[in-house]
Structure 1
Amino acid sequence: MSANTIEHNRTRQNFDGVSSIWLFGYGSLIYKVDFPFLERRPASIRGWERRFWQGSHDHRGTPEAPGRVVTLIQSPGAVCKGMAYRVSPKVFEHLDVREKNGYLRFATTLTFEDGSHREGLVYIATEDNEAFLGHAPDADIARQIASASGPSGPNAEYLLRLADSLRKLGADCPHTFALEHQLRSVTSDKA
């Protein structure tokens, strides 16, 4: 599948008659909220784990030197904590462009901190997109993140802001925190 998913996403859901919908953010959508929302609440989704397995050719890297950003990988029993936003369907005109590098919108069930549930959407970069990089040792991922930069800034900034945001949410994400530790080791070795 092409890395540019804008047009594909615009045909995935029908928003006719829908005034608002929940959107689940688990990466930069937690801390970079450049879209209007009607409501924001911490939430989680089940059966998924956050992984730095998606290449970023357009935000945190370049086609020649891609960065790494998060996607979700299916994992039975896992819980991924993030932030949910109730948005107007018009917001997807912007978000489909922002998340165009391999991400598709999927329906999911969100669980809020009070135990209530709502149906919503989440962007996931699946392994069949051109920008998917997949698994690598943490040290290799950290080195790639340390050296990558793109139009949205250094890839390291993305990782560090995400780790900080997850701590503020009280989310446990061993993968992100291990990469943060590795990144700090890589950058202190360069100093």
Structure 2
Amino acid sequence: MAVDQNISDIEPGIWVFGYGSLIWKPPIAYEDRVVGYVKNYVRRFWQHSTDHRGTPEAPGRVVTLIPHEEWKTMNDYHEHKDDDVCWGVAFKIPGTDVETTKAYLDHREKNGYSVHTVDVYRAHETEPAVRNALVYIATTDNEAYVGNAPLDDIAKQIAVTHGPSGANAEYLLNLAEALREIAPESHDEHLFELEHKVKELLYHAKETQ
């Protein structure tokens, strides 16, 4: 009799779950990917970026995951309508590339992020497709966590900031486009309303040049 095996049990290596730029700018080496979601987290642009999408003098804003129970204690403009799920992509890193990939990601996520584990679910499945995937989360007690602000202020900050990895607006717009592509059923109002506001700001800035 065949024995059902979870994807993450089949071969050695690690899985990494991406919910931000990893969705559209994946790790250097991966051999498989699973589009799915994690439960009990809320994605928000509440983390400062001083090394990639901003500078220490003019920080950008990037996403982190807020545990849902913690998020419920906060005053947030947006609701969370995805049944407490956050869509993204899990990448399978082969065993031969684990060390170099971990070093790459540790450097890429060095501005306040720490490593945690999550289970990743596919749509309409009750059991995890990937168990204990690594995920980089900037917790609310890290030094670059900036928290909530009026959405117009967040949009203005994102629209004008740049860093060594490029424009902060590029990060936001690429994420929104990628999320819409991988998970049309996602209703991430925080992300998509910021996308709308930033596009308007960029359009008006271009018109006034």
Where do 5+ consecutive residues of structure 2 fail to align? 1-10, 70-82
> Which residue is equivalent to 1:81?
87
Q: Which TM-score applies when normalising by structure 1?
A: 0.86
Q: Which TM-score applies when normalising by structure 2?
A: 0.79
Structure possessing the higher radius of gyration over alpha carbons? 2
Which of residues 78, 100, 104 is equivalent to 2:110?
Answer: 100
Instruction: Name whichever of 34-43 and 134-143 sits farther off.
Output: 34-43
Offset of 1:43 from its aligned partner?
Answer: 1.1
Map 1:98-177 → 2, pairs under 5 A: 98-113=108-123, 115=125, 116-117=127-128, 118-119=130-131, 120-169=133-182, 170=184, 171-177=186-192
Letter in 2 for 1:21: I
Task: State the alpha-carbon separation in 1 of the partners of residues 50 and 118 from structure 2.
Answer: 27
Which of residues 62, 70, 87 is equivalent to 2:55?
Answer: 62
Root-mean-square deviation (CA), in Å? 1.5
- Aligned with 1:122: secondary structure? strand
Label 1:67 to 1:85 Cα distance change in 2 as closer, same or farther (>3 A). same
Per-residue Cα deviation, 1:60-118 (whole angstroms, up to 9, x for no partner): 00000000000001125410010011114321111111111111110111112362412
Aligned length: 174
Where do 5+ consecutive residues of structure 1 fail to align? 1-17
Offset of 1:189 from its aligned partner?
Answer: 2.7
Instruction: Name whichever of 167-176 and 133-142 sits farther off.
Output: 167-176
Letter in 1 for 2:175: L
- Aligned with 1:112: secondary structure? coil
Q: Which runs of 4+ in 1 moved over 4 A?
A: none
Q: Is the 8 A contact 1:145 1:183 kept in 2?
A: yes
